[in-house]
A and B are shown apart, each in its own frame.
Chain A
Amino acid sequence: MQMTSFLQDKQLTIALSGEIDHHGARSVLRMIADKIDQYMPVLCILDFKGVTFMDSSGIAIVIHTYRRMCELQGTLRLKRVPPQPMKVLLAAGMDRIISIEGREPVHEM
C-alpha cells in the first residue's frame, strides 16, 4: 500500500493504491490520520483509483476517517472507486453515510 497526498484550498486529496487488507490497514489508517491532523482540511477526498483489492479492513479505515472529518466539521468523499472495493463498500452500506463515486467509465475493457 502506497499513498500520496496533496492539499489545495483546504481540500486534502489522498490517493491510495495497492491492496487494503488487515495486514496493511494499521499503517494506512495512521498515514491518513496524520495527514488530516497536519492539514485540518474542510474536505478530505480519498482517491481509490489505484486500489486493486479491499476487504472489511478498509471499511474500518473509511469509518474512522469519516468520524475524524465529522469532528472537524468537514466532509469526506470517496472517488474513482474500482468495482471490487465498490462492492465491498456497498455491501457494508457505506453509501448511506458518505458520498462515493465510481471510476470514470472511460477505457473500460
Chain B
Amino acid sequence: MKCENQMTLEFPSKSVNEAFARSAVACFAAQLDPTLEELGDIKTAVSEAVTNCIVHGYPDSIGKITIRCRIMENQTLDIVIRDKGCGIADVAQARTPMFTTGGEERSGMGFTIMESFMHELKVTSQPGRGTTVHMKRRIMKRGGKA
C-alpha cells in the first residue's frame, strides 16, 4: 500500500508526554477528516500504547519512545509505537482481557481497548529488547462537507 504522508515522534518516557503524544497523532490524523468519534478512538488507542511503554516498558527508568504515523491510501492511518524497554515474555497472555502485571492502578484492559478501537492490532516483543505495537485504522470517507 502506498504511503501518502508520514511523521515520526520521539520523546522520553515521562508521563507528562502522554497527552502530547495522543494529541500530536490526532492532529496529524485530522487531515483525513475523521469524525469526533474516530478521533477519540485514535487518541484512546495511542494513549494506551504510550502509557504501556511508560508504565511497563520502562518501569524504573526513563527511556525512548518512538511513534511513526503514516497515512496510507484508502484513508488508512497506520501507527507504530515502539519502546526499547523490558519487553513481554508472553504476548498472547498479555493481550488477554484483565491480565495485568501492574497492580491496582491498572485494570488489564489496555490491549482490549486498542483492539476494539482500531481495525488491526499487532504486538511484537522480545524480552529485554522492547515492544512494538502496530495499529491500523481506516477513516470513513465523508461525502458532502458543510
Task: Give every chain B residue within 8 A of A55 (Cβ-Cβ).
Answer: 44, 47-48, 51, 110, 113
* CA–CA, A19 and B44, complex, Å: 11
Total chain B interface residues with beta-carbon distance under 8 A? 26
- In the complex, the chain B residue whose C-beta lies closest to that of A63 is B107
Task: Give every chain B residue within 8 A of A26 (Cβ-Cβ).
Answer: 105
Tell me what chain B mostly uses at the interface: helix, strand, loop, or mixed.
helix
Tell me what chain A mostly uses at the interface: helix, strand, loop, or mixed.
helix
- In the complex, the chain A residue whose C-beta lies closest to that of B103 is A60
Contact B55 A19 (CB under 8 A): no
A interface, CB within 8 angstroms of B: 19, 21-23, 25-26, 29, 53, 55-57, 59-60, 63-64, 83-84, 87-88, 91-92
A-B contact pairs, 9 of them (CB 8 A): A21-B15, A21-B51, A22-B15, A23-B16, A53-B43, A55-B113, A57-B51, A64-B104, A83-B40
